[in-house]
Structures are given as structure tokens and as C-alpha cells.
Amino acid sequence: MKIVITGGGGFIGFKLAKALLARGTLAAEKIARLTLVDQALPADLPKDPRLETLAGDISDPKFAASAIAADTTSIFHLAAVVSGAAEADFDLGMRVNLQGMRNVLEQARKCARPPRLVFASSVAAFGGDLPRVLDDSTTPAPQTSYGSQKVISEYLVSDFSRKGYIDGRSLRLPTIVVRPGKPNAAASSFASAVVREPLNGVAYECPLPPETGVWLLSPRRVVEAFIHAHDLPASRWGSNRVVNLPGITVTIAEMIAAMGKIAGSQVAKRVSWKLDARIDAIVKTWPVRFATPRALAMGFKADPGIDAVIRDYIADENVRIG
């Protein structure tokens, strides 16, 4: 088993890599090589003879050709320009999110045998006039460039699978909470920062009103979902190669309340409000409630609640409550 993770230097990609190395197998095959592909890579890489790294831009066809060798058996495609950045810089989003996907697929098509490819899509695929609760029959109508690029990529993954070039699976990810590190250009960055910053002793100005809802999934669960999606046989996917992952609906106010219950009221008081109309306009287009019977039937799982998500973050990142 020879695996490539694009976006492998990012938080989720690196977490996925560590989980795979610890597990040692994928789809019941021994992992012989795991290549992390990204523009920048972590300094604290594990010392493991199976691990390789390659720094570069996946939107460059020559780099993509060097990243995905003919003997690659599995690809996790996570590399992307995040939502807010893709909206602010249309050309950048199109180059990385769309041309990058084209490059990955074209190289996968050249592999010795059709590789399994797991693509990180997003619930940003949905927008416009939505029902109160979305389900597996809801038609994507993205209202952002990022969402549009994700939907186009889903169609490409499905068509390359139909042609037999790859065995593709696209996961529409909820907002992933709580991410460590610093706020980034994603419009969803607030959902992690509103918990992460106060827990680390830092005041945080939330750009959205407290009643804003978020459909979310924890880092633990999303890593499990990537591995589970890969290991499911093609027969479980059939002709529909896209699934809405399960999640939970939580408002910002509920996130702050849970944080206060776990870490104390003084921590919760570190959140103040400074509304940002640009971010609000993007986030308002995102759905916050889903029924996901197909994903549940396939074995994907949501978190039990926001309290568990916050406690897992504290444990996984060794957070000393500031």
C-alpha cells in the first residue's frame, strides 16, 4: 500500500498521516510508503522509514506528476485554498482547488492500477433557498466560489470513477472544530477560535452573532471518516460517490456555554463581539442542519455533543487552560 496525502502538511492531513502510520494498514494491506505533499510541511515529522515528504504546489502539473507515482495505490486529496481566501482571490481558488484537482485526477489515471481516492469536499456545496433540514436528496447550489469549486471536483471524481480510472469517494465535511493553531483565512475559522483562544488565555472578538449555527465535526471524527471512507468496498458506494458526513448543530452561544461549563465562567468571558459583514455574508449561505441516513447506514459517525468535542480538543492538544 503506497499512499499520498495532498495537503499533508495541514492540521487534518498531518493528523491523518499519524493515524495511518500508527495503524500500519489500510484496506487490510500493509502500508509501505506514505507521502505527505504540501507547500509547507511540519517540523515535527515522526521518524518513520515509511514516511516521505514532498514540498510544492499541486496546481503545477509537473509537481503533481512527481507527487503521484505510477505505483500509488491510495490518495487522500485534502489540499485546498480555504473558503474565505477562495472568495477573496478568485484566480487563486480556481488554480488550486480546481486545477489542482484536475492534476491529481490526471496523475491518478496514469497509475498502474486505479487508485482509491478520498476527496475532502464541503457542505459549502449547498446554498441559496434551502429547506430547514437538508438531506441526501438536497441539490447542491453553492453561493461561494469555494463551494462551486468543491461541487465541480465532486463531479470530476464521480466521472473518473465511472470511467474506471479511479475508485473515488467524496466526503462533504462539516466545519471541523476545534482546530489548534492560529486563525486562518477560512470563513469558518471563528468556529474553532471562539473555543481555542479563550481556553489558551487569549481574548477573542467573535465576528458573528451568538445565535449563528454551525454544522460541525471534530478532528477525531473526521480522521476516522477519511479512513472509513477509504476502506469501504466500492459496492457500498455504487454510482453515488458523494456523501454528506454526519455532524451536530451547535450555535456559537452554545459553544461558549459548554466551554464555560468545562473551563470556568472566566474563560467564557474572554469572548467579545465584533461583527464582520463579509464573513457573515458567507456563513449565512451555509446549511446548519442535516439528516444523514445514508452516511449513518454506511457506518460514519457524528460526535456525541459539543462538550465531548471540547474535552477531546483539550486532551488531544494537551491544552493547559489559560
Cα(180)–Cα(197) distance, integer angstroms: 9
Cα(141)–Cα(288) distance, integer angstroms: 15
Residues in Cβ contact with 163 at an 8 Å cutoff, skipping those fewer than 6 apart: none
Assess contact for 24 and 43: CB atoms under 8 A: no
Residue 229 burial class via C-beta count within 10 angstroms: exposed 0-12, middle 13-18, buried 19 and up: buried
Q: Which of 146, 165, 204, 313 is catalytic?
A: 146
DSSP string for residues in 141-201: ---SHHHHHHHHHHHHHHHHHHTTS-EEEEEEE-EE----SS--S-TTHHHHHHHHHHHTT
Tell me which residue of 291, 180, 305 sits closest to 255, measured CA to CA.
305
Does residue 146 carry a catalytic annotation? Answer: yes
Assess contact for 116 and 169: CB atoms under 8 A: yes
DSSP-based three-state secondary structure for 104: helix
Cα(208)–Cα(190) distance, integer angstroms: 8
Residue 251 burial class via C-beta count within 10 angstroms: exposed 0-12, middle 13-18, buried 19 and up: middle
Beta partners for residue 122, in sequence order: 173
**Cα angle, residue 174 at apex, residues 178 and 115 outer, rounded to 5°:** 105
The rounded radius of gyration (Å) of the Cα atoms in the chain is 19
φ and ψ at residue 216, rounded to 5 degrees: -130, 165
Catalytic annotation, residues: 146
